[in-house]
Structure 1
Amino acid sequence: MPTDRPRLILASTSVYRKQLLERLRLPFDTQAPGVDETALPGETPADLALRLAQAKAHAIAVNAPGAVVIGSDQVAVCAGEALGKPGDFDHAFAQLRRMAGQDVAFHSALAVTDGTRTEVADVITHCRLRPLTDAQLIAYLKAETPYDTAGSAKAEALGIALMERIDSDDPTALIGLPLIALTRMLASFGLDPLDGGAA
């Protein structure tokens, strides 16, 4: 690998984002950004996701001069309401009950920074969930326990059975890290995974 490549840091402790970034075969570290994810008054879901992605990236970059840092955040939106990580069974059940038979937009925001320059993107995935019974929702939640996932729907696993349709320009966006947009952004910082440097 070229020695002049900058260090790459993923500002996240999410196992899903780590697994996705590993697909690009670029060496990287992970660090917890420690950012408060509470929405600001009047903040739209898209603005929330973009602000948090940038806040996570900058929280790490400030103590890692010269490194390229990736921040990401995802917010689901159903009928105008932002749905974050449920945290437990009851909140997940309520989210999925609200989403069943409805159209849901997942905003997967990215921010890449080297401390002096920042690029951002919001990759939107549109999903329509099947009409689902309470028994089906309970069966899914007991099998999957998706309490750390925005909107409680892990489409990369059993959550795909919740879906009637998924429309996206990037199949990895719904999982939490849009790799198509990220590859383009990393290349602009000298970290193209196809530029002879992938492990």
Structure 2
Amino acid sequence: MASIAPSRRTLILASTSPYRRELLARLRLPFSVIAPGVDETPLPGETPPALALRLARAKARAISQAHPGALVIGSDQVATLGDSPIGKPGDFGRALEQLRAMRGRTVTFHTAVAIDDGQRQASDTVLTRCTLRTLSDAALRAYLHAEQPYDTAGSAKAEALGIALMERIDSDDPTALIGLPLIALTRMLATFGMDPLDAPDGAQA
């Protein structure tokens, strides 16, 4: 007698990021996307890694409370240069300032991911260290005009032309830099009974 596939739990990505949506789609699990609406203001004295982890957990919890039984994924990323956080530049001028400050130095990206089903929560944080080449202002301007990465913390999209700015990238989870650590996430999903390799191919909900 053929075995009956177990019923699949609803999977929700608590994010408005198109990058995280594209990454999660790689796992070929059906999922929906809901904006978490979480205040991302840092708490007084909060460190960048603590901020990333708190926000990832808060995003997952915010949606899981309204969708009992669903597996909700939350993620957040904070980049730091030395002890200072680096945000999204928003425009060309601020992006150029960021890249000038970063050239020849190492930027650390703290990428946190959490899963919440309303009863329990799992979370993890992945560090990615990016060392930038020492490039001229002309090269930095050429990159910014070509890619316009103004919605990206650190002003460089390593998954695209921004890789040309890099001297090296060190991480245990290569997709963490883009915004969602899929190795950590797959491991965590398995603890909730959802493994992409056990499921038939699914289309994104």
Pair in the same fold by TM > 0.5: yes
1:160-197: CA deviation from partner (whole Å, max 9, x where unpaired): 01100001111111111100000000111111001134
Q: Mind listing any 5+ residue stretches in structure 2 that lack a counterpart?
A: none
Query: Which stretch of the first structure deviates more once superposed, 55-64 or 155-164?
Result: 55-64
Amino acid at match of 2:9: P
Q: Which residue does the alignment assign to 2:154?
A: 151
Contact 2:29 2:199 in 1 (8 A): no
Q: Find the partner of 2:188 among 171, 177, 185.
A: 185
Q: Find the partner of 1:130 among 128, 133, 140.
A: 133
Distance 1:2 1:31, change over 3 A: farther
Quick one: distance in 1 between partners of 2:115 and 2:89? Answer: 27
Q: Find the partner of 1:61 among 46, 60, 64.
A: 64
Quick one: distance in 1 between partners of 2:70 and 2:18? Answer: 21
Amino acid at match of 2:119: T
Q: Find the partner of 1:194 among 170, 174, 197.
A: 197
Rg comparison, structure with higher value = 2
SS at the partner of 1:64? coil
* Residue 118 of structure 2 is aligned to residue 115 of structure 1: yes
SS at the partner of 2:196? coil
SS at the partner of 2:185? helix
Amino acid at match of 2:108: A
Identity %: 68
* Residue 97 of structure 2 is aligned to residue 80 of structure 1: no
Quick one: distance in 2 between partners of 1:149 and 1:52? Answer: 17
Q: Could you say what the CA RMSD is over the residues aligned between the two structures, in angstroms?
A: 1.4
1:99-147: CA deviation from partner (whole Å, max 9, x where unpaired): 1110111111101110111111110011100112222111111111111
1:78-103: CA deviation from partner (whole Å, max 9, x where unpaired): 11111122222222222111111101
SS at the partner of 2:151? coil
SS at the partner of 1:127? strand
1:41-87: CA deviation from partner (whole Å, max 9, x where unpaired): 21111001101111111111111111000001111111111112222
Q: Which residue does the alignment assign to 2:176?
A: 173
Q: Mind listing any 5+ residue stretches in structure 1 that lack a counterpart?
A: none
